Amino acid sequence: MNQKTKLILVFMFFCGVTIFAQDSYLLKGTVVSAVENAPLPGVNVIISNTSSGVSTDFDGNYQIQVKSGDVLLFSYIGFVSQSVIIDNQQPLTISLVEDASALDEIVVIGYGTQKKSHLTGSISKVVNEDLDQIAVSRVDDALVGQVSGVNIQATEGEAGSAPTITIRGAGSITGNSTPLIVVDGLVVDSDYLGSLDMNDVKSFEVLKDAASSSIYGSRGANGIIMITTKEGKEGDTKFSYNTFVGFKEARHSDAYTFSVAETAAAEEAATGSLSDRTLYKQLLNANTNWQDVIFDGGIISSHSFSARGGGKKTKFSTALNYVHDEGVLLTDDYKKYAIKLKVDTKLTDKLSFGLNLSPSITDRRRFDGSTHDILRQPSWLPVYLDANNIQFVNRLRDGGKYADAQIGDYAIQRMFDDYDLNTGMPIETGGTDISNTSNTNPAAKILERNRTDDKFKIFGSVYGKYDITDALSFKSTVGGDFQSTKRRRWQGVQSNRNGASAARLDLFNETRAHMSTDNYFSYDNFIGKHEISAIGGFAAEKWKFGNDFVAANGYESDKLQTISAATTIIEFGSEEYKKSLLSVFVRVNYAFDDKYLFSASIRRDGSSVFGSNFKYGNFPAFSAGWIVSNESFLENVDAVTNLKLRMSYGFTGNDVLDTNSNQIDRYPSYSLIGSSTSVLDGGLANGFNPLNIANEDLQWERLREINPGVDFGFFNNIISGSLDYYERTSDQLLLNNPISSTTGFTEALVNLGEVKNSGIELELRTRNVSTENFSWNTTLIASKNKNELIDFADSNGQIQSVDSKRAAEWINLEGNPISSFYGWVVDRDIPLEYLSNPYHPIGGQAQDVYVKDLNGDGLIDDEDKTILGNPYPDLVWSLTNDFKFGPVDFSFMFQGSHGAEVRNVADQYIFNHFNSSQDFISTTPDQGFIKQKIFTNSIIQDASYVALRTVNIGYTLPSSLTSKLKINKLRLYMTGQNLLYFTADNYTGFNPESIYHQSGSQLSTTYGYQRGGSPINKTISFGLNVEF
């Protein structure tokens, strides 16, 4: 037996399956390609209706046990299969004919489609094979690791929260780096991904390079994700039902688990005795693990039903989807109900018409708190009062505040202060204090609040297509999406230390209407060897936003949570704003003799955001390709099946702003005036307050990209893939840049600077083994990106911070990434004996640290600050292996990211930080060298990780069985996410991918801030997929 069959056996063994050979004679032979008469390796040679088969070796040779009468089936991807009846032939040489259609996979590009073989830009296609089996509530979560150059980070991790998607690095420098989402040809709000049903998705195409995305001009700067939903096919109606249930748990951080015992041990070891506080904590005997309390885990379940079919003229596709994700955090919960209807019909042989309608409702309950705040809680504090700890409750202190505490009440730190260890009784004052906050119980903060986001979304579009001639057609689409969000936030009586007086209800209603129309001619024609396809048309888009809010207080209890039950309206307001976009576009694709490919396009966009002088932007693109493998001189090179060189160059733009004001984002060219109120002698008076510094000259952020690449397939695509190099340069960056507050403002919108992202992308697919009943494919996807600030004009070297209370600094320095962490360098820790409370509340941690004197002048000042790292990964990769063994399929994906750092401020909260302005004693030496850790690299941590993203095992019932059940297909599967997750040693947080973004602050110039973040979800799920 040869190498390969051994291998197969190994896997048979794995699958616990054995097969029996039968006696017969050993047939030998060769398989060649009909045209070049070249040997074909890896051809499947199978005896029909059996599970036995082999595949040809590198020289196209095969040998297989057969007996007369057998039907031998030769199949090979890209070739027309052949079957031969065995009649003692020896040897048997077969020549397979290439299947022309197979190579011409169709790829969706902006305003139309194109043969994959003719692509000159960088576009990746992901066909939804088993993405819908990944137990996530959003489609974008399922795309992780699927496409090179696309980095999807679970930056929030709350159930239903959107991940951050970046294509080829921080493309646009504004806070918004989300790619444009196009569903069935119509631009939609990126939030639409939240309501889309993965089961209804046919494929994703990701347009990565500027040349490909520039047909969407100003919308394309962050790349484009084109989503094609499934449509009905002619024939009997096919029903499909897919369901899974997943069990989620949070990835804990050992660094943040502390038991009273540990602290005590540390103290005893160091001092030889225990302080009163520690002794008392031991008495309380609670030892709460707050991670267990807050990360309560959850169940995610999904049901999706679809019916697709149609006749000659009309095809339809309809789907129902329900997802319920409990999330891993306390109280977070996400429900999605989606309906989908898609109808395409030919009215006449020239005029066709289609309609697409998908309403959805999502109900989301938020985790209304922050993990870092809860996790700083000491482990001695119980969640509820119980029979033991209630005896320590101090009913005397705080003016008898806790006099009537009862078992089952929330435990509050202050309840346990002033305990007299000698008498074993709480006393009014002068006892042992162990509280380090007056806040209420952290669990109460979460459980006694109810914060919900309920959305209704509807996406609809209608198109008409008219074939003017065979080659020329006109298509017009009118559609849009409407979204209504109701945010409600109830802060209950027990959620705040101030009790009923702090009870409060906030209501926030938001509507968002987006209308758009595309109208374009397309022309597709062959003239001899010339293949031309061109489009030209125009598009218009319009957004209308509105919101209103009201907040009230004065509630006695949680009973009636309505505005009318309040005594006072404390805040209220409303606003509306608009945006519009008008575009003209043309594109010509030309191919000569399937060898030489050219494409040129230009789009002119007008945006309402900019002032009259700068409304319009032009976004041209040009690309060319050369299919070398179709050249005669390669025809006889067997190794090379497919080789294409391509080069693209194009421009895109960006007009999306991210200040913390909706108004400024839409009308930055005006100096705006909002309302303000003031209390004067006559009571409240209304005034008008300037909101911004106008910038009439604000204009398009421009992005230009050059992208040489090669697509290759060797040995009849046993090895195939593509390699891209890109250099994308954004200039005139739209920044809400910090400015001196002496202007009356703290930031202003500017076009500033230039940033370069350059990198390499590799997609490598290998068909390691491919036989009828066993196949093994490997996909390696890797992208390396380098982000560099080329020019920052007068702001070069600008230092800024996101939060004036915790003013950790970032620097924007040319020659480095757009934002780098900045500050002092840790020298050494402060010896415990110099800490005022070394073992309280958490053992052996200081908020301060000795830093290095970089210039040696004996003073720690700004001159001793330096770059401490940057938040951009250098390498993001994924390695996927798919195995098919008969009815069993198995796949797993490892995914990793390397080279990024985060500033994990959670440490500051958790280790007794911010507990006092200075927690070292006055006799501490070299106090001039001591700084708060937050200003040092002490909390700069390596954010690299390697994760076993998905594991998927499926079993498809044999058709013999299913046909009895009158069903076409029945598949059982089991998937796991993040079952393994490795982070760097010095990373202490929950989720290296998590990024905290304070709205209004510039995400790009102060990137990489992390406040503990919500944890990575570990999920194991079981699913069932039926088609009938």
Residue pair 127/203 in contact by the 8 Å Cβ criterion: yes
In the bound state with other proteins, the residue whose beta carbon lies nearer, of 588 and 782, is 782
CB of 567 to other proteins, least distance (A): 6
CB of 740 to other proteins, least distance (A): 4
d(CA 945, CA 981): 7
In the bound state with other proteins, the residue whose beta carbon lies nearer, of 271 and 836, is 836
Q: For the residues of 434-445, what is the DSSP string, one character each?
A: --S-----HHHH
CB of 610 to other proteins, least distance (A): 9
d(CA 550, CA 552): 7
Virtual torsion, Cα 819, 820, 824, 828, nearest 10 deg: 140
CB of 564 to other proteins, least distance (A): 16
In the bound state with other proteins, the residue whose beta carbon lies nearer, of 389 and 553, is 553
In the bound state with other proteins, the residue whose beta carbon lies nearer, of 746 and 963, is 746
Cβ neighbours, 10 Å, residue 1004: 24
CB of 515 to other proteins, least distance (A): 8
In the bound state with other proteins, the residue whose beta carbon lies nearer, of 390 and 854, is 854
Structure tokens at 576: 């509306």
In the bound state with other proteins, the residue whose beta carbon lies nearer, of 176 and 607, is 607
CB of 667 to other proteins, least distance (A): 5
Across 157-234, the runs of DSSP E, i.e. the strands, are: 164-167, 180-183, 186-188, 201-207, 224-229
Cβ neighbours, 10 Å, residue 784: 18
H-state helical runs in 240-297: 260-271, 276-284, 290-294
d(CA 50, CA 29): 20
d(CA 593, CA 710): 19
CB of 874 to other proteins, least distance (A): 4
In the bound state with other proteins, the residue whose beta carbon lies nearer, of 282 and 370, is 370
CB of 891 to other proteins, least distance (A): 16
d(CA 177, CA 1004): 9
Sign of the alpha-carbon dihedral angle for 207, 213, 215, 217: positive
Largest CA distance in the chain: 111
CB of 983 to other proteins, least distance (A): 12
d(CA 630, CA 984): 47
The partner residues of 306 in beta bridges, in order of sequence, read 240, 319
Write the CA distances from 1 to 30, 326, 896, 927, integer angstroms.
17, 52, 38, 76
Across 470-527, the runs of DSSP E, i.e. the strands, are: 472-491, 504-527
Structure tokens at 667: 């009308």
Provide φ and ψ at 198, rounded to 5°: -55, -30
H-state helical runs in 15-168: 100-103, 139-142
Residue 175, classified by CB atoms within 10 Å of its CB into exposed (0-12), middle (13-18) or buried (19+), is buried
In the bound state with other proteins, the residue whose beta carbon lies nearer, of 6 and 966, is 6
CB of 579 to other proteins, least distance (A): 7
b/e sequence 892-927, b meaning 16+ C-beta within 10 Å: bbbbbbbbbbbbbbbbbbbbbbebeeebbeeebeee
In the bound state with other proteins, the residue whose beta carbon lies nearer, of 51 and 866, is 866
In the bound state with other proteins, the residue whose beta carbon lies nearer, of 311 and 797, is 797
CB of 439 to other proteins, least distance (A): 8
d(CA 585, CA 219): 13
Q: Which position has the token pair 């979204």?
A: 483
CB of 1017 to other proteins, least distance (A): 26
In the bound state with other proteins, the residue whose beta carbon lies nearer, of 113 and 924, is 924
In the bound state with other proteins, the residue whose beta carbon lies nearer, of 11 and 538, is 538
Structure tokens at 192: 């639409």
In the bound state with other proteins, the residue whose beta carbon lies nearer, of 20 and 688, is 688
CB of 110 to other proteins, least distance (A): 19
